[in-house]
Amino acid sequence: MDPAATEQFGLIAEEVEKVNPDLVALDKDGKPCRVRYDQVNAMLLSDFLKEHAIVQDLKKEIAALKVSLQQMSDQLKMNRSVQLAKNR
């Protein structure tokens, strides 16, 4: 217990159960009674690593699209130059 009565925040087991039932301990009647905080960090780390991998893949895809866009832009400039030269 906290003798200084410091304000603390927590998660509501019923709300956590809706998102991830594995993070909730049930009472003898099968109702959510507490959040398994020891499992929350592992879940968050796992989800973070998945999202990080997605971000890395998207960065690679963006870089490839930039290269492709630059190549198309260069080709258009060259085509315009050729057209202008033909029209003179």
How much is the pTM?
A: 0.57
Provide the b/e sequence for 31-62 (b: ≥16 CB within 10 Å): ebeebeeeeeeeeeeeeeeeeeeeeeeeeeee
What is the pLDDT, as a whole number, of residue 10? 83
Distances (CA, A) of 59 to 24, 52, 70, 85: 36, 11, 17, 39
**Nearest in space to 34 (alpha carbons), one of 45, 42, 26:** 26
pLDDT digits (tens, 9 = 90+) for 38-75: 888 888 899 999 999 999 999 999 999 999 999 999 99
Q: For residues 35 and 20, give the distance between their C-alpha atoms in angstroms, rounded to a whole number.
A: 10
Q: Where are the domains of the chain?
A: 1-35, 51-88
